[in-house]
């Protein structure tokens, strides 16, 4: 019987899902709201570069072209690479562009029956004769609505696009009190390079946030305005952003992406011997972290700028909170072209922003939010069923809140990052109580393309009947173990969707499910000490 699979989104994960389901003989139809493939790479700022080293950010069966020689290509080269992948594997003909998915609705058993199931989908199988998904789409050119009925849905909407995370303020303390312009990073990135440069030229700009997008915008502002109108960057907490991947001349990949490095941390389902080894190696784990921290402090002169984090590098890498600092960023700080301001609490006023406990406002013409996206809400809202919305979102009892930033003004609370709760996913792909559906690309890792590819392979094998999932209770027990690990090593920065510094152990579980040998290297020492990457998982 011919099985119809719907893929929502034609970013990295959507293309991989399309490619690997095709390889198993399925017939995917991909819905993409934009006019081209590439996802987040279609809307970036001029200075954006890949922040993961190129060898970690590549398709296992499609190498980078020889013309791309740098380790961190710019956004144009990354987008060209992704588009070339789609063309090479003939994926474009399966994509319906300018087609927005308005919602998905399961047509089958009632909620009461679904809640009584002990196996995923009632039978443990990815496909079922009991139900199908109705995918409701809108053609963004004609505004016509159409419903596609499919046997399985793969949601690849991602976390970092779509719904901007705009803070809420008390009356008369938010942007309405400000005479200038307030936009989100998404709006700035949607401008072409010339329009973006004109937007910030000769303006006093305040950027709120301190992850990669915030740093990129600050660099563009410093280039456009110099010291006459320095860019002010508001941050809540300093993090271990890296200047490069070679602390003190050593390879960071060997330190954190090898099997030996994972022996130093406790793992879900590790057993007695591996648990004992992780305990014995705890001092070395601490030394690794301090070694990297000392190099970052030296190269970026963090102490001079008051930017030394109070937590460990391991906490950040386990929470996917590390990013690459743009070249010469702190030189711009020392030249007075960028100003760093710790401002967990502030409000707007007529001529700028007022940081709590300060009497003088920071004058501004433009404020740009680099505060992320409401990826959790976007994922939740795609379901028509309230029951499925609750399953995918979870509850405070079932999950720890995502990292959040709370800002206060006087005695009033303003929330920057909503604390949504995302239900646990088996292998970070399957919600045990939602049948015939998978989520790919929502969970983070050190290298997202690499992680999405092996998940899509795993999912394709599941759809092809290579293996079956255990009972719902067993799956929920498994994801609880992963929660406990993530909470232990991320500390207060624990965010649900990050496998952090344990990607080899995670991939081992996928390999075992698929019947692959999880030991992918040739030779004992290579297996133990060489970093793992995409090419290690070529079949």
12-64 pLDDT, tens digit per residue, is 999 999 999 999 999 999 999 999 999 999 989 998 999 889 999 999 999 99
Residue 241 CA to residue 212 CA, distance in Å, equals 9
Question: What value does the mean pLDDT take over residues 117-122?
Answer: 94
Q: Residue 41: CB partners within 8 Å, gap ≥ 6?
A: 11, 75, 78, 79, 82
Same domain (yes/no): 358, 486: no
181-208 pLDDT, tens digit per residue, is 999 999 999 999 999 999 999 999 999 9
Question: Is 523 among the domain residues?
Answer: no
With beta carbons less than 8 A apart as the criterion, state whether 123 and 108 touch.
no
Residue 102 predicted with pLDDT over 70: yes
Strand 4-8 versus strand 27-31 pairing type: parallel
- Give the per-residue pLDDT at 409: 30
- Give the per-residue pLDDT at 427: 65
Question: Is 291 among the domain residues?
Answer: yes
Residue 316 predicted with pLDDT over 50: yes
- Give the per-residue pLDDT at 178: 96
Higher pLDDT, 78 or 494: 78
- Give the per-residue pLDDT at 158: 80
Residue 303 CA to residue 331 CA, distance in Å, equals 14
Q: Which residues pair with 340 in a beta bridge?
A: 233
Same domain (yes/no): 426, 327: no
**Element of type H or E holding 187:** helix 185-190
**Secondary structure class of 121 (helix, strand, coil):** helix
Same domain (yes/no): 237, 317: yes
205-264 pLDDT, tens digit per residue, is 999 999 999 999 999 999 999 999 999 999 999 999 999 999 999 999 999 999 999 999
Region for 469 from its dihedrals, namely left if φ exceeds 0, alpha if ψ lies in -120 to 50, beta otherwise: beta
Same domain (yes/no): 190, 149: no
Residue 398 predicted with pLDDT over 60: no
- Give the per-residue pLDDT at 376: 84
Strand 437-439 versus strand 346-349 pairing type: unpaired
Same domain (yes/no): 115, 186: no
Closest by Cα among 38, 81, 97, 4 to 463 = 4
In the chain, the N- to C-terminal Cα span, in Å, equals 27
**Predicted confidence band of residue 507 (pLDDT cuts 50, 70, 90):** very high
Burial class (CB in 10 A: 0-12, 13-18, 19+), 505: buried
Closest by Cα among 410, 411, 356, 413 to 234 = 356
Helices 448-463 and 12-23 sit at what angle, rounded to 10 degrees?
A: 30
With beta carbons less than 8 A apart as the criterion, state whether 258 and 532 touch.
yes
431-445 pLDDT, tens digit per residue, is 999 999 999 988 777
- What is the model's pTM? 0.90
Same domain (yes/no): 351, 391: no
Query: In total, how many domains does the chain have?
Result: 2
Residue 497 CA to residue 176 CA, distance in Å, equals 34
Question: Is 510 among the domain residues?
Answer: no
With beta carbons less than 8 A apart as the criterion, state whether 420 and 393 touch.
yes
Question: Is 528 among the domain residues?
Answer: no
Same domain (yes/no): 363, 378: no
Same domain (yes/no): 320, 233: yes
Same domain (yes/no): 98, 187: no
- Give the per-residue pLDDT at 224: 95
Same domain (yes/no): 139, 202: no
Domain membership of residue 50 as a residue range = 4-162+374-400+417-501
Residue 28 CA to residue 11 CA, distance in Å, equals 15
Residue 416 predicted with pLDDT over 90: no
Residue 462 CA to residue 427 CA, distance in Å, equals 12
Question: Is 347 among the domain residues?
Answer: yes
Residue 236 CA to residue 156 CA, distance in Å, equals 30
Question: Is 532 among the domain residues?
Answer: no
Question: What value does the mean pLDDT take over residues 280-308?
Answer: 97
Same domain (yes/no): 362, 421: no
Q: DSSP assignment, residue 84?
A: H
Mean pLDDT of the chain: 89
Question: Is 529 among the domain residues?
Answer: no
Question: What value does the mean pLDDT take over residues 137-158?
Answer: 96
Same domain (yes/no): 384, 354: no
**Predicted confidence band of residue 534 (pLDDT cuts 50, 70, 90):** very high
Residue 277 CA to residue 272 CA, distance in Å, equals 9
Residue 85 CA to residue 201 CA, distance in Å, equals 37
Question: What value does the mean pLDDT take over residues 385-408?
Answer: 54
Residue 383 CA to residue 392 CA, distance in Å, equals 9
284-293 pLDDT, tens digit per residue, is 999 999 999 9
Question: Is 536 among the domain residues?
Answer: no
Residue 92 CA to residue 97 CA, distance in Å, equals 9
Residue 208 CA to residue 235 CA, distance in Å, equals 6
- Give the per-residue pLDDT at 394: 67
Provide, rounded to the nearest whole percent, the portion of the chain with pLDDT above 70: 91
């Amino acid at each position: 019987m011919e099985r119809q699979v719907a893929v929502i989104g034609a970013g990295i994960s959507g293309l991989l899902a399309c490619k690997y389901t095709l390889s198993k003989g399925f017939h995917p139809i991909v819905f993409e709201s934009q006019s081209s493939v590439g996802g987040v790479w279609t809307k970036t700022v001029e200075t954006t570069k890949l922040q993961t080293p190129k060898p970690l950010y590549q398709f296992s069966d499609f190498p980078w072209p020889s013309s791309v020689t740098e380790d961190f290509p710019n956004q144009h080269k990354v987008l060209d690479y992704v588009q070339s992948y789609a063309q090479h594997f003939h994926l474009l003909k399966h994509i319906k562009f300018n087609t927005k998915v308005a919602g998905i609705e399961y047509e089958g058993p009632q909620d009461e029956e679904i809640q009584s199931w002990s196996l995923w989908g009632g039978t443990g199988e990815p496909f079922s004769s009991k139900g199908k998904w109705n995918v409701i789409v809108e053609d963004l050119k004609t505004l016509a609505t159409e419903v596609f009925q499919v046997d399985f849905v793969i949601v690849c909407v991602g976390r970092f696009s779509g719904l901007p995370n705009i803070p809420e303020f008390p009356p008369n303390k938010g942007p309405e009190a400000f005479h200038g312009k307030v936009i989100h990073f998404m709006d700035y990135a949607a401008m072409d390079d010339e329009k973006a440069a004109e937007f910030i030229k000769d303006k006093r700009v305040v950027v709120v946030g301190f992850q990669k997008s915030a740093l990129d915008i600050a660099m563009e502002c410093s280039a456009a305005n110099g010291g006459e109108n320095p860019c002010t960057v508001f941050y809540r907490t300093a993090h271990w952003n890296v200047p490069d991947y070679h602390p003190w001349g050593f390879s960071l990949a060997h330190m954190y992406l090898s099997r030996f490095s994972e022996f130093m941390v406790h793992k879900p389902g590790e057993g007695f011997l591996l648990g004992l080894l992780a305990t014995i190696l705890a001092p070395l784990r601490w030394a690794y972290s301090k070694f990297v921290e000392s190099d970052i402090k030296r190269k970026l002169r963090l102490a001079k700028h008051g930017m030394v984090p109070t937590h460990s590098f391991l906490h950040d890498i386990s929470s996917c909170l590390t990013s690459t600092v743009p070249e010469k960023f702190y030189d711009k700080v020392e030249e007075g072209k960028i100003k760093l301001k710790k401002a967990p609490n502030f409000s707007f006023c007529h001529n700028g922003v007022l940081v709590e406990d300060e009497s003088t406002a920071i004058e501004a013409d433009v404020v740009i939010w680099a505060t992320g996206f409401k990826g959790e809400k976007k994922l939740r809202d795609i379901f028509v069923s309230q029951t499925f919305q609750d399953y995918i979102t979870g509850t405070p009892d079932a999950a720890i809140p995502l990292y959040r930033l709370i800002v206060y003004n006087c005695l009033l609370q303003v929330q920057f990052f909503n604390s949504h709760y995302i239900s646990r996913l088996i292998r970070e792909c399957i919600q045990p109580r939602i049948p015939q559906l998978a989520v790919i690309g929502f969970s983070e890792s050190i290298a997202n393309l690499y992680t999405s590819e092996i998940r899509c392979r795993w999912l394709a094998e599941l759809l092809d009947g290579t293996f079956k999932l255990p009972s719902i209770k067993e799956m929920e027990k498994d994801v609880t173990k992963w929660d406990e690990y993530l909470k232990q090593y991320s500390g207060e920065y624990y965010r649900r969707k990050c496998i952090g510094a344990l990607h080899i152990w995670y991939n081992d579980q996928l390999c075992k499910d698929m019947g692959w040998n999880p030991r992918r290297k040739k030779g004992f020492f290579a297996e133990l000490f060489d970093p793992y990457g995409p090419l290690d998982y070529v079949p």
